[in-house]
Chains A and B, each alone.
Chain A
């Protein structure tokens, strides 16, 4: 019984918030423009699902995000590995990586709009931008922080350069690569929302921004709930299992893990 209680513990704050919401709304009775009631949000959510609008917007957002993610991972990890393996290139690129990481993401929005106009290409570019530099920086760091001892060990056993890379560098850099991807996912998600809110084409961000014009706080809240849930699912369902199956199986501790 205590076991069950322990597992259900994370639900408590959510329930608490729900109670506050219901009670608060009943007491204050705000207008739809200020804050929706639970029932209003639920109803709106149902309407959006039924009309297919939610599905369309989710598909639009996730599509863009997915393309950018794949591109950013391939380019970021690939270039990061290449750069990291050559000490000279790494030294040259490191300051650039730092500077561009500081400047990444929605700061490129106006320039991206000039180059690509409003629309999917622009949004994908902005997301890619946000993710790429973070992933690249972290991959670079990861490659360079692999202890030289490991490379020496493989070499004493007669390994050639290819084996050094595949058996030492790649797995050794993985915790940092994954940390970079985790950060990249977060930044990319934010960049997606910001670009959609400002670029205002179809998508979750656009959906909640358009609701502002009509003062429909219930749509906004419904949209936010969906956004939060998707973000949570991505974090828990994608990253943690990957972490578990690779890093922890290989006996390393991930950079983001912590003791309970």
Chain B
């Protein structure tokens, strides 16, 4: 039976396998993740993953030469790689990438630090979810990008604008999913802590937080996904140094090779952030504590 991902807090001594929230962030699982795995298996998985991508590059080169596409439409993989190398040599790419990464990290960290407690607080109240769900859905629908114009009016074309929009964009899914996560916890765990004389603090530490953690991670993933796109949009709009600006400015001078190089970098960056950072967080916490997504 295809079941919904429910949270079961189990007492288990062996690490449970977390299938991953396929679909929640739009990304299916299946990419090799950082972590403790036998070297040969992960090498093999990496190769299996890389092969189609290499094939794609070949197809890319083939399309370019076969159809004789001009450099205004598509550039060959070689030219793209050359462009990327040039950008690195000039120091532009590292600077822009680090600027963008800085923004998204700051936004994600702040959003988590502020959003998770709010979500917990809303979730533990009796009708919290019921009351705030449509409210949060509404603001999720507006999406950070729609606030960009207002942020520009307030803060001008500055870094603050981008940062604020990222913070908002990331915070809504985090709060929402934390709230849902708490609501999913079966009452019996709260009751068992209470029968043993546990107070509010212990409840939060031993029941609510670990129990809601899978959902929190889903929320964090979503938040970073949305926040990343808001980051790109914000950079394009304000023109401040960043990967978004890189590809947008290159458009003005019809430097397709730079655009493509930038796009690939962005895609790879996002994959790295999602798989190499978030997945291990998931494993180290959710798996270790035995909270399984059935």
Contact = CB atoms under 8 A, between A and B. Distances in A.
B67 interface: no
30 contacts: A9-B127, A10-B130, A10-B134, A13-B132, A14-B138, A92-B52, A94-B28, A95-B30, A95-B31, A96-B53, A98-B30, A102-B268, A103-B267, A103-B270, A106-B229, A106-B232, A107-B229, A107-B263, A110-B251, A134-B26, A145-B2, A187-B229, A194-B233, A215-B153, A224-B146, A227-B146, A228-B141, A234-B141, A252-B2, A260-B183
Nearest to B271: A102
Interface string A24-55: 00000000011000000000000000000000
A107 B142 contact: no
Given A109-B248, A255-B5, A98 B27 contact: yes
Contacts of A208: 146, 149
Nearest to B186: A259
Contact of A187 (B26, B129, B233): B26
B56 interface: yes
B237 interface: yes
A145 to B, nearest CB: 7
A-B residue pairs, 3 tightest by C-beta: A231-B141, A103-B267, A110-B251
A187 B247 CA distance: 20
Contact of B23 (A9, A223, A255): A255
A169 interface: no
B145 A176 contact: no
B139 interface: yes
Contacts of A230: 141
Contacts of B259: 110-111, 114
A217 B153 contact: yes
Nearest to A231: B141
Contacts of B2: 145-147, 172, 175, 252-253
A221 B150 contact: yes
A103 B263 contact: yes
Given A98-B271, A107-B263, A109-B236, A255 B28 contact: no
A183 interface: yes
Contacts of B141: 189, 227-232, 234-235
A1 B230 CA distance: 44
A235 B47 CA distance: 40
A14 to B, nearest CB: 6
A196 B120 CA distance: 36
Contacts of A137: 26-28
A110 B129 CA distance: 40
Contacts of B28: 94, 97-98, 137-138, 140-141
A258 B247 contact: no
Interface residues of A, number: 86
A260 B142 contact: no
Contacts of A260: 129-130, 183
Given A14-B135, A172-B2, A91 B48 contact: yes
Given A13-B131, A217-B153, A232 B23 contact: no
Contacts of A12: 131
B233 A198 contact: yes
A134 B149 CA distance: 27
B127 A111 contact: no
A110 B247 contact: yes
Contacts of A58: none
Interface string A102-122: 110111111101110000000
Contacts of A85: none
Given A255-B4, A258-B180, A10 B135 contact: yes
A47 B143 CA distance: 25
B4 A189 contact: no
B131 A111 contact: no
A193 B180 contact: no
B289 interface: no
A129 to B, nearest CB: 11
Contacts of A223: 146
B135 A180 contact: no
A71 interface: no
B55 interface: yes
A144 to B, nearest CB: 9
Nearest to A172: B2
Most chain A CB inside 10 Å of its own CB: which residue of B52, B129, B147? B52
Given A189-B141, A254-B4, A255-B5, A6 B130 contact: yes
B284 to A, nearest CB: 22
A106 B131 CA distance: 33
Interface string B238-280: 0000000001101100101001100110111011001000000
